[in-house]
Structure 1
Amino acid sequence: MDRASQTRAAQLLHHRSAGLKKGDPISLPIVPAATFHLPEVAGASHFYGRNGMTTWEAVEDQLALLEDAPCISFPSGMAAISAALMATLKVGAKLIIPADGYYVTRVLSEGFLAPFGVEVVEIATAAYAAHDFTGASVVYLETPSNPGLDVIDIAAVSARARAAGAVVIVDNTTMTPLLQRPLDLGADLVVAADTKAPAGHSDVLFGHVAGRDAALMARVKDWRRLSGAVPGPFEAWQVHRGIETLELRLERMCASAHVIAERLQAHGAVRNLRYPGLEGDASYQISKAQMQGFGFLIGFELADEARAERFLADCRYIVQSTSFGGTHTSGERRARWGDKVDPGFIRLSVGIEPLEPLWSAMEAALNA
């Protein structure tokens, strides 16, 4: 990570320090309040729990430091995605989404937005580079794509989309703002599932929307207040604690992922490996230009479904899970969710285990 990212990581650890008084707790208190003392409304810092709570406002302060932009928190990544789309779309709008991105975004768009009169257009992530955005209201992109790990030039796509009059939303879940900064590259809004690496411990759902356009962010905040899609105080506290170690965890996860990707690529049982940090990867040049690191996700194929399932079951240091970004290395065969991938395709999320024991377990499972 560059110096700016390291500075942001240091700032978020101390973002409450300046406001502490003698005897205050260093760790963030949990304030489980739905109602507040209101003898009169004027001048009150809080009115009602659906409008704001101190505990999740502290997480928003952390995320705002990382994003260098105002942030609004949500009880899940999909709640954040839904809010960003609801704040920017209306009847007759044209929405462009990745055909090979996170499948739940497609399900939401096809099952709910399209029936409400939104034209939903799905294109492959790689096709964004040359697509004509004329008539689009919202261009929604995900890079690296999940699970295929295709990468597109955020700055170039954002410039073309905004020139066509579209709002640009980037799902940055796979990279976090420490590794990739879509707002700096021209995006209007960033959405992310902080359930993944920011919280980091596979024990809480959370998400956020970030943006520098005050009007857009006001719409997002109104959606949260009116829809009631608000995070809870205990969940916010969990995320706040997790974010404090994000930079440290990412450093090991990314370093280990790079080595493991190289070793997997050299293994005879592995084919079609994707990792943006490998010089031979189709996404390497763009990734090198717009990322501060190459991430912790690896995609690869084994011979067939049975071989992939056996590998996952045999490796003692891989938990079989549908999420990623946690402390434990996790993997799953993505075709089971209907992703358009090979039956033997595995998405691997490298955790914080020491590298050599992790690799030894993976190698033994591959050789079994």
Structure 2
Amino acid sequence: MSGTYGDSTRSVKAVASEEIPGQPVIAPPVPAATYHLSADEGDALDSYGRKSNPTWRRLESALAALEGAAAALCFGSGMAALTAVLRVLAEPGRTLVVPADGYYQVRAYAEEFLAPRGVTVVEARCAEMAEAAARADVVLAETPSNPELDVVDLHQLAMDCRSRGTVLVVDNTTATPLGQQPLSLGADLVVASATKALSGHSDVLAGYVAGSHPELMARVERERLHAGPILGAFEAWLVLRSLGSAGLRFERQCQNAAAVALMMRDHPAVRSVRYPGLADDPSHGVAAKQMRRFGGIVSVELADAGAVHDLVARSELLVASTSFGGIHTSVDRRARWGDRVADGFARISLGIEDTDDLVKDLQRALGPGTTTPSR
């Protein structure tokens, strides 16, 4: 029966506490650094705050349920989760593939930290992942890619990796587990930033790793214990609290993204639009096979940086900020951070405002437009 539940039902059930009379429906955070120890000196479940925490376990259980994983581990940020996985898997002498068109901080970490330690780092765009995987020990794929929203065929890539004994890690941040489940498509591990749509309120940093291979998960957990990139108990509780409404929020964000992508595709001030949900998007065919929802992000190219700034200035609803997945619709000109995109390229993260209000506001803010679209 549980397999037929919708996203909002899954989200609510994931955070519900055990039904014990007299106990809170949503358990409070446990901000503990140390715990009482038993006299037998055994390995207690909770002994020190860097090792474990009851609030972590509640959050990790919910994240594992949403990702379709046997287990999950929470971290202090998405990058903390991702770099822990890379430190475990990308050992000296191994070849690691990272997205050339994905989150720029991942490339920076691989080039500045892993490569000098003897890891061969190969950058590959989404379309090149399968070819690059043929020569790799570890492949990190991000799909849809951030910020250009290209899509990797995860099932095909997973089969290629498995036939060669290559470990496949998928960054599921942009899609969220409500949009796709990489583990069911053959990935070995999922990493993600819970800072984005899952927490959704732009007020907490968090990340996680999810998987169903006990040995792999144990190694990542050991790395977390030693390196200490942990999530605070209160922050874990904030994410847990927010997860209950994630299905509802993500549904509206995807609805808004689809409507805004359609409007902008035909607007003369917009040079190009990328959104996997558009029938004519280059990635739509693959996305339709593996994604349940197409996400809450639309990427557009305007004439130049000034046009992006003007769009925000003229709008009554847009917020100029980085990151994505929050309740407010935001715009981020990605070239300012070093992404390999045009100066007028902008990532629009759709919030939960009323769809008609957003479309009208953006149409007005774009103005009549003089740019001839290049699609």
TM-score (norm: length of structure 1) = 0.96
Counterpart-to-counterpart distance in 2, 1:99 and 1:163: 24
Counterpart-to-counterpart distance in 2, 1:64 and 1:208: 10
Structure 2 unaligned regions, length at least 5: 369-375
Deviation at 1:43? Answer: 6.8
Deviation at 1:18? Answer: 6.4
2:310 is aligned to: 310
1:345 is aligned to: 345
Structure 1 unaligned regions, length at least 5: none
When the two structures are aligned, how many residues end up with a matched partner? 365
- Distance change in 2, residues 1:58/1:300 (3 Å): same
TM-score (norm: length of structure 2) = 0.94
2:83 is aligned to: 82
1:13 is aligned to: 12
Deviation at 1:9? Answer: 4.3
1:71 is aligned to: 72
1:105 is aligned to: 106
Counterpart-to-counterpart distance in 1, 2:141 and 2:87: 16
Counterpart-to-counterpart distance in 1, 2:143 and 2:4: 19
Deviation at 1:351? Answer: 0.5
Is 1:294 aligned to 2:279, yes or no? Answer: no
- Distance change in 2, residues 1:17/1:104 (3 Å): closer
1:33 is aligned to: 32
Runs in 1 of length 4+ with deviation above 3 angstroms?
Answer: 3-9, 14-18
Deviation at 1:81? Answer: 0.2
Indicate conservation of the 8 Å contact 2:147/2:299, yes or no. yes
Once the two structures are superposed, residues 38-82 of structure 1 have per-residue CA deviations (whole angstroms, 9 ceiling, x without a partner) of 132337331111110011111101101101211000010000101
Q: Which moved more, 1:326-335 or 1:13-22?
A: 13-22
Indicate conservation of the 8 Å contact 1:135/1:164, yes or no. no
**Aligned AA (1:34):** A
Once the two structures are superposed, residues 187-225 of structure 1 have per-residue CA deviations (whole angstroms, 9 ceiling, x without a partner) of 100000000000000000000001111110000000000
Counterpart-to-counterpart distance in 2, 1:361 and 1:63: 35
Counterpart-to-counterpart distance in 1, 2:217 and 2:19: 29
Indicate conservation of the 8 Å contact 1:77/1:193, yes or no. yes
1:209 is aligned to: 209
Deviation at 1:28? Answer: 2.1
Once the two structures are superposed, residues 90-135 of structure 1 have per-residue CA deviations (whole angstroms, 9 ceiling, x without a partner) of 1111000111100000010001011111110111112124x14334
2:170 is aligned to: 170
Please, what is the CA RMSD of the aligned residues? 1.6
Indicate conservation of the 8 Å contact 2:15/2:241, yes or no. no
**Aligned AA (1:126):** A
**Aligned AA (1:340):** R
Match of 1:19, SS state, is coil
Match of 1:177, SS state, is coil
Matches within 5 A, 1:317-356: 317-356=317-356
**Aligned AA (2:103):** Y
Is 1:22 aligned to 2:21, yes or no? Answer: yes
Counterpart-to-counterpart distance in 1, 2:252 and 2:282: 24
2:372 is aligned to: none
Deviation at 1:84? Answer: 1.1
Match of 2:177, SS state, is helix
Counterpart-to-counterpart distance in 1, 2:177 and 2:269: 34
Q: Which moved more, 1:82-91 or 1:11-20?
A: 11-20
1:236 is aligned to: 236
Once the two structures are superposed, residues 316-348 of structure 1 have per-residue CA deviations (whole angstroms, 9 ceiling, x without a partner) of 211111100000001111111111111101100
**Aligned AA (1:127):** E
Once the two structures are superposed, residues 276-322 of structure 1 have per-residue CA deviations (whole angstroms, 9 ceiling, x without a partner) of 00111000110111000111110111111111111122212111111
